[in-house]
Structure 1
Amino acid sequence: MKILIVLAHPEMQSMNGAMFKQAIKTLEEEGHEVKVSDLYREEFNPVSGRNNFKTTYDAAFFKQQLEELHATKVAGFADDIETEQQKVEWCDLMIWQFPLWWFTVPGILKGWVDRVFAMGRFYGNDNIYEAGMFKGKKAILSLTAGAVESAYLKDGLHGDLYGVLRPLHRGILQFTGFEVLRPQVVYAPVRQTAVQREQELAQWGERLKHIFTEQAMPIDTY
């Protein structure tokens, strides 16, 4: 199978960096083909605008969705965007590896979505949710959280983690047709011992060996 791993962390020695490396190692050993988008090392530009395109639909007024529709028709996306779009279209499974910052993804990953997930190319004309363009593909969020697990329960300090992740699960991944798998979460890695972190990596690797047998999880639509 074909897997795209998108990494959004500035430090490769972090737990995110270790999970990224563990995923590549495990999946390749299992015989899968892996491509990566290492956003910080590649210095991906997250700022969306006319730089997204090699073409222009309306020079007088910039509306990104109209420019995206036009670029989809005439192969007008900038080279860096086209490269990322082709990776997403290529993969059977997409993994996002990131730290939870301010209850969401780092800005560089959100900017990647803003630029890459283009109207016409990735959604539109009723091609959303169950009829999404990526129907049949799987996606999973693999992340670290700064607090302990009890803080992310419904009655915890920060509230239900699944509620925190819902805009990503429902509003981006499921919206474009992906089957969304249960997230892989490492809580408070900075508070863990080296042995505990190694156990987390081993569990992640073991899960990845069977990832394509997993079913999509239900996501609240309220």
Structure 2
Amino acid sequence: MPAIPRKKVLIVHAHPERTSITRQLADSACEVLGEQGHVVMRSDLYGMGWKAVFDGQDFPRRVNPDRLSFIEESGHAFSHGCQTPDVEEEQRKILAADAVILLFPLWWYSMPAIMKGWVDRVWAFGLAYGYQGAGNAHRYGEGGFAGKRALLAVSVGGPAQDYSPRGINGPLEQLLFPITHGTLFFPGMQVLPTFAVYGTGSIDAQGMAEATTAWRGRVAKLFEDEPIAFRPQNGGDYPDRHALGPHIAPDQTGLMAHVVNASRPLR
């Protein structure tokens, strides 16, 4: 098998406990990628004391001091190089990265607030949305993060059955759709199927060892695995850039209509 070209990978993880499964998976990912010769950048959000709240303090040089418009201020700060240093540093990392791995526990069916705040502050107007000043012309498959890969690793307290296609909590791939399709695919990333560790509230040593082995295998194929087949905005399926054409998946509605061959599981 030919060697995988050397890449840069950004690992972003969010858990306050250093012995957490999230932290263990992040450490394992670093090891695997390092063994492959890749360059690893790391953002431990709790360890960094990341400011989670997106507010007026993010804009040292305001365009309008009387009314806070996040789009206006974010676009001005990004285009004029007057963002806060912590945001600029994270943007530097993500722009340099060929792939981004986000690791977090599933808290109330989403990511922890500190990671959501990382996205809110780093995904600037002009970069992750409003790309090239063209409004929504470049989104869902295009944009400032096009060409990069993304992978979620989620630790889930409950059993896998609760998150199965008919599980009481709802299918995990649909619960995470706002992240995979919205946060990541919207600005152009190719998103890989999510890796999940279930039953983490009672996992034993053997279960953790099995999960770690499976995770290491997924990380090893970070640049080989096929991404989720989200439909790109400008690929012809959305004639008006807003809604699917009547001839596209005519019998489907809801989230999975925006995935090609959605009858196949995403994980």
Same fold, TM-score > 0.5, yes or no? yes
Q: How does 1:7-18 map to 2 (within 5 A)?
A: 7-18=13-24
More moved, 87-96 vs 205-214:
205-214
Q: List structure 1 runs of 4+ shifted beyond 3 angstroms.
A: none
- Higher helix proportion, which one? 1
Q: 2:253 aligns to what? A: none
Of the three residues 175, 181, 196, the one matched with 2:207 is 196
Q: 1:114 aligns to what? A: 120
CA distance in 2 between counterparts of 1:218 and 1:153 reads 20
SS of the residue 1:4 aligns to: strand
Aligned CA RMSD, in angstroms, stands at 1.2
SS of the residue 1:213 aligns to: coil
Cα deviation per residue 1:153-188 (whole Å; 9 max; x = unaligned)? Answer: 121110111110000011110001000000110001
CA distance in 2 between counterparts of 1:122 and 1:33 reads 23
Cα pair 2:158 2:201 within 8 Å, conserved: no
Cα pair 2:52 2:117 within 8 Å, conserved: yes
CA distance in 2 between counterparts of 1:39 and 1:202 reads 25
Matched, 1:101 2:107: yes
Of the three residues 28, 31, 38, the one matched with 2:37 is 31
Of the three residues 169, 178, 196, the one matched with 2:180 is 169
Structure of higher CA gyration radius: 2
The structure with higher relative contact order (CA 8 Å, sep 6+) is 1
- CA deviation after TM superposition for structure 1 residue 92, in Å: 0.5
More moved, 90-99 vs 190-199:
190-199
| Structure 1 unmatched runs, 5+ | none
Q: How does 1:42-191 map to 2 (within 5 A)?
A: 42-124=48-130, 125=134, 126-191=137-202
CA distance in 2 between counterparts of 1:78 and 1:53 reads 7
CA distance in 1 between counterparts of 2:150 and 2:222 reads 10
Cα deviation per residue 1:20-68 (whole Å; 9 max; x = unaligned)? Answer: 1100111111100000110001100011112212321111111111001
Q: 2:244 aligns to what? A: none
SS of the residue 1:96 aligns to: strand
- CA deviation after TM superposition for structure 1 residue 122, in Å: 2.2
> Number of aligned pairs?
222
| Structure 2 unmatched runs, 5+ | 1-6, 231-255, 260-267
